Structure 1
Amino acid sequence: MGGVAQSFGPFSVRRLMDGVFEAPVADLRHLGGSGPLAAFTAGVAGSTLPMDVNCFLLRSAEGLTLVDAGCGSAWGARYGHARAAMKEAGIDPGDIDRVLITHLHGDHALGLIESESAYFPRAEIVIPARDFAFFTDEAQRAAVPAARRGGFDVAARVRRAYGDRIRLVGEGAVTEGIVLLPLPGHTPGQAGYRLGSGENALVIIGDALHLAEAQAADPDLGFIYDVDPVIAGDTRRRLLGEAAEQGWALAGGHLPGILRARATEGRFVLTAV
């Protein structure tokens, strides 16, 4: 399941939809407490909010790059469709030169693995150093509630599968034409990757936003999936402000396409590019 390719800087970018996650409404939280949360959920029909699960295929003179890898076969037949989309486009796993991971949650990184082996036989795996450090720290694992420990298992499996093909990176240029932007909160080391510059830039933001319209209008709305909800809210507000000011387009792990932010009447609005 793949979208139409769009150009940003030297890259042709194609969204690959890996599946649809039904996020329970009960998993929502609001930094303002129960009142603002109830005001939002009163307008929600049903008990879940469907969210696309995306990864992105980049073509350039540097070869083929993936940003995030989807779920692969780890979450069952409802997911893993990004692999099928690549196959339909004539792309084999061995054709991928590098995979840039925004953060080490299963729906972004488990597609790197098949049967505990590397799914991409020659790709370099680029991971934000701060996220990798957090999710490979046993003291941090013990401090995190059991229901939020999945990233630690993901990190261990990726490390076993890829070994010295993992490259840990910080803020700044990570490869030709791609810059890492720290977007902490959802995970401590979550990153976005900016392609191009100015109004021809695209930032692939991981899970800095889950719900495009709702969180653009109210960045204090979030999910229990955020490791640090306060920092996640601050990151959403900062990212939306900078994107509106700079003219950046945004794409993410759960956004319904490539969107552009603008500020209006004291709030942010996201519209399709």
Structure 2
Amino acid sequence: MDEVKVVVAHSERATLRVGDVFLKVDADQVRIDAEVEAMALAPVPTPEILWHKPPVLAIAAVPGTALGRLGEPSTSSPAAWAAAGAAIRRLHDAPLPSSPGRASKNLDQLTAELDGECEWLVTNDVLPADLVARNRQVAEAALRPWTPVFTHGDLQIAHVFVDNDEITGIIDWSEAGQGDALYDLATLTLGHEEHLGDVVAGYDTDIDLDVIHAWWSLRSLLAVRWLAEHGFDPSAPGCEVDVLKSRM
């Protein structure tokens, strides 16, 4: 008999694996409906939806292996990273989904959230003030108008699966919606700066690298408190705190 494995669990949602079936439990009906819509519309390989009975979404495992893991060296080839870039470009060129996406805050909201997190990090002695100030400066380049595209919204390296340098599946669409294309590219390459060139080559259009660097800083600054409060370690080697330190 297959065992039940807890893939991830926190106060917002949980994912369980039983054999080749993943059960996603999410109390936010709007979010899970947006995930189902995004997987149906995305012009890239996505998991097969087996059934959907709120608050549970059952999906099949995708073939292949993850492109990599945050905090670990990626063993995937440059061609696999380029294939990921090409898949993301197809997604960004697709018609917009109806969901605005959780990453689609307006500039005033995003700036206020960023400044609030920076203040919290310094006030509570979580990170050195100069580290926070430098990354807040770098993050400024991301705080500009952008044309919304169909974004995954949480395109972590572990959410992209490959086999023989081809994309076999992109998972976890719970944050999908209308957002900044460069946010997706930055999320994929967070902690793996050495593969940014491969991704950009596959994406095949001009990219403002300063904005990618800015999103690395911005995403990491926003993530530290949430990760710590939900049982994750942002200071693990190669993870968010190391990303912030690399900007120094």
Which category of TM-score, normalised to the shorter sequence, fits these structures? 0.3 to 0.5
Larger fraction in strand: 1
- TM-score, structure 2 normalization: 0.33
- TM-score, structure 1 normalization: 0.31
